Structure formats: structure tokens, C-alpha cells
């Protein structure tokens, strides 16, 4: 799925566009006991309650593609009889009216989701009548030829509200506030099937994680049966490892800076595209070569990439480089640079020592205090 497709489904979570037929929930305590189960028609909910659920569903489809929202695919065995995909299809086709399937689903989540406190599993069934689109992208609501039927799951932490004082309007006094158990925004979630090319994609599922480094592989494997992706943080670490292993001891500031500058240029050129920029082995090789990595070093590149990423795998450009900052660190100094002004820093050997030289033309602040720049003496 791309950003436009995610946004199209996200727009359904409003009173005017709501296509949700049924909502089910299971409240689980910190000992993994089911404390409450509910199931009802979504349109029967009170208006204010429905709005709170809309906020949760929108959050389950938010964040950065490839970081918080991950396109997962089912391996062949998951699509075989008895596999995870078949179970999800049964659950979807039941329209959440089969109590045994619901119990089995809750049990799968409880057994594999790692969380030490209370949480609330929300599962919805919806049917979206996909409007056709004209050649210029205008939606034609009377030209639909497919109904996208899907499940969405949101797993929300439930926490005790903070202790404090509140105003009691009835008694006109300040008193201790009653602490409630509050359903927070989702920590994990998924959309099944995926909505790819504005159509049902039974071979994929969109997975949401609040924290990109916490993918919960056991839940992905046992609940979804999908192929485990590489997290955004792991992709960044892997990219750094490839650079270090390829350049070896000869890696210098100018080469590393050039690699990041090339990446930033590619991301900038691609930013209007709905699909995130992915880089396979061939793409990455071109970036290294363009950045001035010597040919003798490139001999090690392919092996490093295949060992750390995979021969046919790829990395997301947005995950492997920072577009808003560029950090230079020594044991005692950290320098943060605007990625668009990396030209202001260069390396020089001064008095026999390797130094970073920062060009300063007009303005310097020291602990928030403006100081004068050194003026070159006229001869």
C-alpha cells in the first residue's frame, strides 16, 4: 500500500463515510485474563463513543510508511489450508458473528502480544464500496465495481489516569479526582486484506506499530503468519554497517558525507511520489560509486550487501538516513549540521592534527548568547 491508499481508507472513519458494520472488543488485564468481551453493530454506538473509536482507527493508519506502517506479505505456507491467512479470511467472511472464531483470535493475540499491563483488543469489520476514478483522478461514486471487505484490529494500552485534584460542580468544592482506566491510542494494529492498487490484496496485510523498533515478531508470526520485515532502526544500523565494512579503515568524512548527500538528493526528487523510495543492491551500488567510493572497495560491496540485507532485498531510503539533521560526533564533541549545508564543514590537517573546519561567516551563539565572529585582519 502507498500513502494515497492508506489515506483513502483512513477517510472512511468519519460519520459521513463510515462503512463499519460491526465492532468487537476484548479487555485483557496484566495477567492475560479476559475481563470483558463485547460485540455490537457499530452504528448502534452513541455518537460521542463512535467518535472516540474513529480517532483510534485513524491512529492505526498513521505514521510513516516503512517505519510505523509496514506492508507485509504472506509466505506460501501461510496461504495453505490451516494457515494464518485462511484463518483471517474465515474471520473476515464471518463478519465477526462467529463467537468461536473471535475467541480463537483473541487467544492468538493474548498468547503472542508482549505487554505487561492492561490492554483492549478492538476488531472491526467494514465494507467499502470503492468509487471509480476518471482519467484525471476525480472519484465517480456511481461507477463502483468492487466492494473492499476488510478487518481492522487495534490493540490499545489501558492505563490508570493520573492522581490529582478536580472541581466538583455539584458540591462546589475541590476534591481528589476519581482515577479511571483510560483506553489510550493503539500500540499495534493491522488491516487485512491490504488495499493495493485500490483493490483487495489477499496476499498482503498492513501492519501498524507505534514504536518502529518494537515490531513484536511473535505476534506477526502467530497472528498474521506474515514474513517478518526488517525494522526501520535495523535498516539504519545495517546501512551503517555496509558503509563501514565496504570502506574499511579508509573511510573518510568526505566519502560518507557524499553518500548521504546523494541519498538526500534522491529522496528530494522522489518526495512527490506516493510509493516510498526503496533501494536494492543495484541502486545502492550506484550511490556508492557516485559518491566516490574507490573501485577496489566496491569489490567488497556486493558481498556486504547480500550478507547484511539479502541478495534480492531492499532498504527504504527514509529509514537509512536523516533528512533533517546530520550529526558528527567525537568522544567529547557533537556537531549537528543542516543536511543542506554540509559544504560548511571540511577536514584539514592543522599542525599535524586531523581537524574539522567549520565555515562561520556571520552569526554564532554560545549557550544562547550572540558573539562576534573573528574578523580577518586587513594587510
pLDDT in tens, 58-79: 999 999 888 899 999 998 888 8
Eight-class DSSP state of 90: H
For residue 75, count other CB atoms closer than 10 A to its CB.
14
pLDDT tens-place string over residues 157-171: 999 988 899 898 999
Global pTM? 0.80
User: What does residue 330 show for φ and ψ, rounded to 5 degrees?
Assistant: -120, 175
258: Cα within 13 Å, side-chain hemisphere: 14
**CA proximity to 109, closest of 119, 94, 96:** 119
User: So what's the pLDDT on residue 379?
Assistant: 44
C-alpha distance from residue 260 to each of 60, 71, 315, 321, 369 (Å): 31, 26, 14, 7, 32
d(CA 38, CA 100): 14
Those residues with Cβ within 8 angstroms of residue 48's Cβ, 6 or more apart along the chain or in another chain: none
Which neighbouring-strand residues pair with 356? 347
What does the block give as the cell for 308? Answer: 547484511
For residue 5, count other CB atoms closer than 10 A to its CB.
20
Domain ranges in the chain are: 3-228, 233-320, 327-371
* Candidate ranges 46-60, 68-82, 165-179, 250-264; pick with highest mean pLDDT: 46-60
pLDDT tens-place string over residues 310-356: 877 888 888 888 777 788 887 888 888 887 777 788 888 888 888 88
The number of residues in the chain equals: 379
Q: Is 299 helix (H, G, I), strand (E, B) or coil?
A: coil
Q: Is 246 helix (H, G, I), strand (E, B) or coil?
A: helix
Note whether 151 and 91 are within 8 A (CB): yes
Amino acid at each position: 500500500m502507498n500513502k494515497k491508499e492508506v489515506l483513502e481508507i483512513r477517510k472512511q472513519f468519519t460519520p459521513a463515510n463510515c462503512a463499519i458494520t460491526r465492532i468487537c472488543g476484548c479487555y485483557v488485564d496484566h495477567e492475560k485474563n479476559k475481563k470483558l468481551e463485547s460485540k455490537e453493530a457499530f452504528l448502534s454506538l452513541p455518537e460521542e463513543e463512535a467518535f472516540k473509536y474513529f480517532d483510534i482507527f485513524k491512529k492505526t493508519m498513521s505514521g510513516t510508511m516503512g517505519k510505523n506502517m509496514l506492508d507485509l506479505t504472506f509466505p506460501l505456507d501461510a496461504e495453505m489450508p490451516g494457515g494464518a491467512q485462511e484463518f483471517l479470511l474465515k474471520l473476515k467472511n464471518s463478519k465477526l458473528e462467529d463467537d468461536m472464531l473471535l475467541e480463537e483470535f483473541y487467544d492468538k493475540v493474548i498468547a503472542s502480544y508482549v505487554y505487561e499491563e492492561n490492554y483492549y483488543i478492538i476488531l472491526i469489520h467494514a465494507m467499502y464500496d470503492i468509487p471509480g476514478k476518471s482519467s484525471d483522478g476525480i472519484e465517480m461514486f456511481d461507477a463502483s465495481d468492487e466492494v473492499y471487505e476488510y478487518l481492522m484490529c487495534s490493540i490499545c494500552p489501558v492505563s490508570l489516569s493520573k492522581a490529582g485534584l478536580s472541581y466538583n460542580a455539584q458540591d462546589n468544592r475541590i476534591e481528589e479526582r476519581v482515577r479511571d482506566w483510560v483506553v489510550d491510542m493503539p500500540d499495534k494494529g493491522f488491516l487485512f486484506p491490504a488495499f493495493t492498487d485500490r483493490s483487495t490484496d489477499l496476499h498482503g496485510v498492513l501492519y501498524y506499530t507505534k514504536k518502529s523498533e518494537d515490531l513484536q515478531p511473535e505476534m506477526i508470526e502467530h497472528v498474521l503468519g506474515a514474513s517478518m520485515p526488517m525494522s526501520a532502526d535495523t535498516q539504519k544500523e545495517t546501512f551503517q554497517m555496509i558503509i563501514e565494512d565496504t570502506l574499511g579503515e579508509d573511510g573518510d568524512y568526505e566519502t560518507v558525507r557524499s553518500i548521504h548527500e546523494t541519498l538526500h538528493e534522491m529522496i528530494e526528487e522522489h518526495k512527490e511520489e506516493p510509493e516510498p523510495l526503496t533501494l536494492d543492491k543495484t541502486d545502492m551500488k550506484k550511490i556508492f560509486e557516485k559518491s566516490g567510493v574507490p573501485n577496489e572497495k566496491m569489490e567488497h560491496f556486493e558481498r556486504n550487501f547480500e550478507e547484511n540485507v539479502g541478495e534480492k532485498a531492499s532498504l527504504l531510503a527514509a529509514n537509512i538516513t536523516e533528512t533533517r539533521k546530520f550529526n558528527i560526533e567525537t568522544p567529547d564533541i557533537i556537531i549537528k549540521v543542516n543536511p543542506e549545508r554540509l559544504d560548511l564543514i571540511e577536514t584539514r590537517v592543522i599542525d599535524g592534527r586531523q581537524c574539522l573546519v567549520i565555515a562561520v561567516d556571520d552569526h554564532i551563539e554560545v549557550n544562547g548568547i550572540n558573539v562576534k565572529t573573528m574578523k580577518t585582519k586587513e594587510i
